[in-house]
């Protein structure tokens, strides 16, 4: 056996998809007559939750329990309590945005594997990543719960997070956010129904499109390994074009059920598709950097992301290969501009213009200390860890200084 041979690219996605108008009601009404827990975002209107509740009750009857969640309160202690309720269920249906879907997935994980809570708690906010692998997992695979866990059905009420098909989830621990990766976090069934996103405000729909675009851009920038087929690059560029064109339609106020369905599918495809084949799971440096900025400022996730992107992309274009390849950034941005041709050709100014045009709120950066942000990032994601371990704290401080300067100027 040649030990110098590069590792084979791997691709595995367990979630089934039900797509289209009425798919949520159909999926819930066709569920088993078993103990079912329906988790909903407390902020969703009755026009969304009412039909789903009726459908779930028609299948589960008296064996249905309903729990409305407050996304802002879903830190690790609350999720641990939720796991006790999930453990008594045969089926868990989560309806809501990324925070609710992540909480449901984590509660399902803990219900099947209570020992995982120690791994997530360990070190408080350090390290920021918890990759749950174990000796029972297949080589190169993620941890699977040793105990039978309930079926998880994810019904997103937003577009762009792809939480319904992701094998990763974020959780607040001791005032910071951790990223947990485990195969059993991915829902068994993801339902993409435009009726559930019908009340999503236009600004949040555009923000969701931008989130999907940024997720794909960040994973595209690093040069893939020699074993990664270039079909993944081709699909990524196609996805960028299609997302940009669909985002343009949303920008023009044409958020029809058909468009919302397309956007939901495109967002899921950024996680499920060949564009992710063989990618470095820690390639998206922007996520780790913006995570700390969001936590420190209380800014929305995308507000922090678009504040960080210009500083990171400027370094990529200056040749910092640790953050990505300059040629690949230009190539990816050309794909975005093929769907939004009136954007600036220069990626740094272009992404800032797109964020302004689509109404992403500015990041409240005044008074922030770049050295403190750098220390937070290094503690959670650096110091030898694969996320930001290639960067010295002094480098991160200079980067955050540029981020804050740009955010304040905006």
Q: Tell me the pLDDT tens digit for each residue of 330-351.
A: 999 999 999 999 999 999 999 9
pLDDT at position 278 over 90 = no
Model pLDDT, residue 123: 66
Q: CB of 381 within 8 A of CB of 351?
A: no
Residue matched to tokens 């990032």: 377
pLDDT at 403 over 50: yes
**215-259 tens-digit pLDDT:** 999 989 988 777 677 788 899 999 999 999 999 999 987 789 999
**pLDDT value of residue 252:** 87
pLDDT tens per residue across span 127-151: 688 888 643 333 333 444 445 689 9
* pLDDT exceeds cutoff 60 at 104: yes
Within 10 A of 64 (CB to CB), how many other CB atoms are there? 22
CA distance 240 to 247: 10
The mean pLDDT of the chain is 89
Domains of the chain: 16-192 (3.40.50.1970), 202-409 (1.20.1090.10)
Among 260-264, 373-377, 381-385, the least confident range: 381-385
Question: Would you state the pLDDT for residue 255?
Answer: 86
* Full-model pTM: 0.90
């Amino acid at each position: 056996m040649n030990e110098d041979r590069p590792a084979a690219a791997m691709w595995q996605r367990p979630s089934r998809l039900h797509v289209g108008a009425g798919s949520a009601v159909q999926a819930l009404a066709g569920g088993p007559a078993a103990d079912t827990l329906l988790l909903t975002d407390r902020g969703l209107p009755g026009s969304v939750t009412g039909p789903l509740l009726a459908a779930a009750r028609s299948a589960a009857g008296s064996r249905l329990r309903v729990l409305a969640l407050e996304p802002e309160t879903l830190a690790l202690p609350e999720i641990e309590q939720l796991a006790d309720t999930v453990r008594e269920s045969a089926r868990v249906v989560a309806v809501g945005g990324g925070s609710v879907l992540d909480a449901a997935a984590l509660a399902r994980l803990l219900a099947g594997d209570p020992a995982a809570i120690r791994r997530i708690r360990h070190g408080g906010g350090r390290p920021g990543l918890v990759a749950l692998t174990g000796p029972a997992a297949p080589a190169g695979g993620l941890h699977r719960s040793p105990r039978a866990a309930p079926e998880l059905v994810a019904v997103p009420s937003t577009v762009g997070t792809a939480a319904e098909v992701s094998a990763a989830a974020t959780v607040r621990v001791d005032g910071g956010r951790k990223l947990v990766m485990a195969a059993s976090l991915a829902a068994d069934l993801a339902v993409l129904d435009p009726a559930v996103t019908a009340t999503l405000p236009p600004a949040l729909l555009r923000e969701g499109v931008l989130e999907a675009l940024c997720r794909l851009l960040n994973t595209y920038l690093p040069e893939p390994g020699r074993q990664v087929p270039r079909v993944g690059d081709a699909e990524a560029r196609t996805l960028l074009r299609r997302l940009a064109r669909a985002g343009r339609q949303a920008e023009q106020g044409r958020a029809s059920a058909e468009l919302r369905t397309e956007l939901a599918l495109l967002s899921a495809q950024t996680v499920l598709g060949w564009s992710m084949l063989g990618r470095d799971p820690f390639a998206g440096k922007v996520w780790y950097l913006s995570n700390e900025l969001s936590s420190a400022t209380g800014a929305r996730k995308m507000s922090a992301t678009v504040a960080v992107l210009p500083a990171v992309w400027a370094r990529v274009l200056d040749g910092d290969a640790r953050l990505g390849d300059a040629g690949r950034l230009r190539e990816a941005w050309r794909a975005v501009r093929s769907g939004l041709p009136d954007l600036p050709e220069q990626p740094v100014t272009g992404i800032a213009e797109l964020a302004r045009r689509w109404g992403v709120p500015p990041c409240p950066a005044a008074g922030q200390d770049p050295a403190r942000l750098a220390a937070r990032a290094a503690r959670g994601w650096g110091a030898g860890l694969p996320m930001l371990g290639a960067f010295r704290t002094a480098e991160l401080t200079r980067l955050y200084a540029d981020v804050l300067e740009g955010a304040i100027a905006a």
